[in-house]
Chains A and B, each alone.
Chain A
Amino acid sequence: MNRIISPKNAQKIMKTIFWASGILAILILLVIIGYIIIKGLPVMSLEFIFGEPIDSGRSGGIFPMIVSSIYVTLVAVLVATPLGVGAAIYLAEYAGENNLVRAIRFGTETLASIPSIIFGLFGLSFFVIFLGMGWSVLSGALTLAIMALPTILATAEVSIESVNKSYGEGSLALGATKWQTVYRVVLPAALPGITTGVILGMGRAVAEAAAILYTVGAALSIPISLFDPARPLPLHLYMLATEGISLENAYGTAAVLVILILLITIISNSLVDRYSKKMMGR
């Protein structure tokens, strides 16, 4: 026997390693979030959140950036949701298995895998220059919509498919048409799942900076019209940090972003929880 470590000891050692790696992952998160929130919270006053930036962000607040983030994200989700949910309904309820469907799936998969900077390049050459939208909320939002589309589509498709088949059959048996069934029975049942997908898509859009670096502009004022340039939070943080403008305001901006993302994660998690409990209950 050349076994130096007995199976029993090997078991103990490996269990320790697994525990350590799990705890390490938690520590990484705690350190990152903890550090940014501890450094950022003192900066996050009411004047910071509701104030205008002064001297290109050296001091003052980040209100225009918060508005930009919300504006761009909302427009992106408004565009991506109908497309994503529509496609999900088609794939889950209407399509069979044919070449077209396979192509659609491959397209969605590829879309989900493209690096965000490529979306940025596309947005710049297509929306900003070719369609002449300029550096604007609209150009940025449409670019982000393409990025959020696969997330929304995939989540919506899974939740539509997981609706109990007997619901639809019951509705059809009562004489409802296919669309009536989908619209009145299947979609309401799948709504929590679809909502989760939309929130996840929102999370992606809120966090993204590379894709909007060259599409949304970098204005420091509050965007009003769709064609105004804007500067969402991640972009602002990137500029503050890389151009060494203000470390303090960068901490504050990072903290606001992290808190936003935490909120989105908590909301989508509680939705998933409620949804899965409801499904189990039946």
Chain B
Amino acid sequence: MSKTNESLVEKGLLITAISSIILIALIILFIFWEGIPAMQSYGFFNFVFGMDWSPSDNQYGVFPMIIGSLAITGLSLLMAVPLGISCAIFLAEIAPNSMRQILRPTIQTLAGIPSVVYGFFGLIILVPFMRVQFGGTGFSMLTASIVLTVMILPIIVSVSEDAIRSVPYEYKEASLALGSTHWQTIKNVLFPAAIPGIITSVILGMGRAIGETLAIIMVAGNVVQIPGSIFDPVRALTSNIAIEMGYATGIHYNALFATGIVLMAMIIILLVIANYLHYKKKVTIGGGYL
């Protein structure tokens, strides 16, 4: 093969490599192009901090949904983080080999199950259960958070486990040699050393929770309001887009893209924090990082 061919190949490969930058640029361009008109005509401040969303009256305030997204995400993290870290410690430190061989594929499968299946399961099992236990319709912030907990568990477990595993073995040996019990070693040595990776796993879980759409629609009730209790129905930013895009026209259509801009801004903030925490480890198994 001649020299020119070699450089042609390299140029071709470079083009494929640049494609992800081009795609990101296109995505941002088109979302903003469609979304900005709504923000302009309704006012940026009114849009982001407005309390009313009622397209029929030309009211486009997404603030209740920003709170809704954050509330559902926060509540699910409250459940998923302790469970996930505890699972990760179990996998990395405690579990015998046979148990590990069951648990690891389990976590992987949980990561692979389609979000609509989780939503469907929540709809037919969890919603009636909540209705019987706590009254109301059963469609609530809590129901959505429980479904999300299961969905973000895999990413928290796998990234945290990696972090715990990558603590140098000498640390553990030294601690044990000083007479600490295994739990003292985990608590005082391994866990603190793994904390950057564990925080990363939590941020990744958070990103997934904020971005989840259909599973939440199916169980959250989707009422536009700031939830007063965890048993109130809520609507997330993602749900807002998916529910109304089917029939939106004119400024309503643009407002939904503007909702997308808000959503993207939240994700990008998370991404910047994650990068700031120097996360280099990528999770290739389980599909995606955030």
Contacts and interface: CB of A to CB of B under 8 A. Distances in A.
Contacts of A86: 12-13, 15-17
Contacts of B51: none
A179 interface: yes
A26 B102 contact: yes
A198 interface: no
B91 A22 contact: yes
A170 to B, nearest CB: 18
Contacts of B267: 113-115
Q: How many residues of A sit at the interface, in one of the four size bands? A: 35 or more
B41 interface: no
Nearest to A7: B181
A66 B30 CA distance: 31
Nearest to A200: B287
Contacts of B256: 121
Nearest to B2: A177
B289 A90 contact: no
A28 B260 contact: no
Count class of interface residues, chain B: 35 or more
- Identify whether the interface residues of B are mostly helix, strand, loop, or mixed: helix
B165 to A, nearest CB: 15
A87 interface: yes
A90 B183 contact: no
A1 to B, nearest CB: 15
Contact of A113 (B181, B187, B289): B289
Interface in A1-58: 7-8, 10-11, 14-15, 17-19, 21-22, 24-26, 28-29, 32-33, 35-36
A261 interface: yes
Q: Is the interface of A mostly helix, strand, loop or mixed?
A: helix
B174 interface: no
- The 6 A-B residue pairs whose C-beta atoms are closest, nearest first, are A115-B211, A86-B16, A113-B290, A207-B114, A21-B86, A90-B13
Interface of A: 7-8, 10-11, 14-15, 17-19, 21-22, 24-26, 28-29, 32-33, 35-36, 82-87, 89-91, 94-95, 100, 103-104, 107-122, 124-126, 130, 146, 149-151, 153-155, 158, 177-180, 197, 200, 203-204, 206-210, 213-214, 234-235, 237-238, 241-242, 247, 250, 254, 257-258, 261-262, 264-265, 269, 272
Interface of B: 1, 5-6, 9-10, 12-21, 23-24, 26-27, 30-31, 33-34, 83, 86-87, 89-91, 93-95, 99, 102-103, 105-110, 112-121, 123-125, 150, 153, 157, 180-184, 186-187, 207, 210-214, 217-218, 238, 241-242, 245-246, 256-257, 260, 263-264, 267-268, 270-271, 275, 282, 284-285, 287-290
